[in-house]
Amino acid sequence: MRKHDPERSASLYLGGMVSGHARRRFEQHIMGCEDCWREVEVGRRGRALAESSRELAPQGLREMVRSTVAAAPLSRRGLAFGARLGALAASVTLALVVVLVVLQPSQPQEIEILLSDYNRAEQLQQQTQAALPSVLGDLELVEVRRGRVEDMSIVVHEYVDPAGHIVAVYQSDSAFPVARGAEHSASGATWSATLDETAMFCADRPVPSLVIGDDQREVRLAAVELGLE
């Protein structure tokens, strides 16, 4: 959401008109933006934050979040507003993180780190030159970074399509570990998985590659364009 328009951003978010990756970015943004939080709160009384995780959170936690949000006054000012909002946001976030950790199986460390990198908690921070095409179908290259994850040397090429979907192609000099819950192809040469609305496709040839994106079609497109098998 490049243009800071709280009313429009909240409307798109509450209406389910943004991708999973963009939604997560907006949810992180409203934790520190009073204007955007107010628009979301007025529009839906904050319940979208609880409902977005209802399939993972148990009934007791959902009711706790709803009651906490309902009890919070709409009118908040100055430092008092910031303090109460920060405490509420931190409590809700911590509770949801605990549920996710408990209910979801852990992933290999490399997969966890690369998912974190994809979600903008950048682990690969060194800018480098591109080794892949600048265009893959309707995807355009926007950034190339490199770094190390555990014992793996990795380069990531990040692409974006006209709709704002982001696809990251991670390539290494050694094979990536298999994500838990992944489905293997008939040949066993590739695997794919979907974790929290994030799609992944992995292949060892011609170069060990892990493609991550918030749109499965674009992930498959990138894999085909790169000849991964």
List the domains of the chain with CATH numbers.
6-103 (no CATH), 109-225 (3.30.200)
The CB density around residue 14, as the number of other CB atoms within 10 Å, is 15
pLDDT at 91 (0 to 100): 58
pLDDT at 50 (0 to 100): 45
Residue 104, amino acid: Q
What SS3 class is residue 146?
strand
pLDDT at 18 (0 to 100): 64
pLDDT at 29 (0 to 100): 80
pLDDT at 146 (0 to 100): 95
Residues 36, 86: Cα–Cα separation, whole Å = 14
pLDDT at 79 (0 to 100): 43
Tokens of 134: 């600048």
pLDDT in single tens digits along all 229 residues of the chain = 344 677 777 777 777 666 677 777 778 787 888 888 888 777 765 554 444 544 455 566 656 656 665 665 554 444 444 555 555 555 555 555 444 444 455 889 999 999 989 988 778 989 999 999 999 999 999 999 999 998 899 999 999 999 999 999 999 999 999 999 999 998 888 999 998 889 999 999 999 999 999 999 999 999 999 999 7
Q: For the whole model, what pTM was predicted?
A: 0.57
Residue 93, amino acid: T
pLDDT at 23 (0 to 100): 74
What are the start-end ranges of the E strands in the chain? 126-127, 135-136, 139-149, 152-160, 166-172, 183-184, 190-195, 198-203, 209-213
pLDDT at 72 (0 to 100): 55
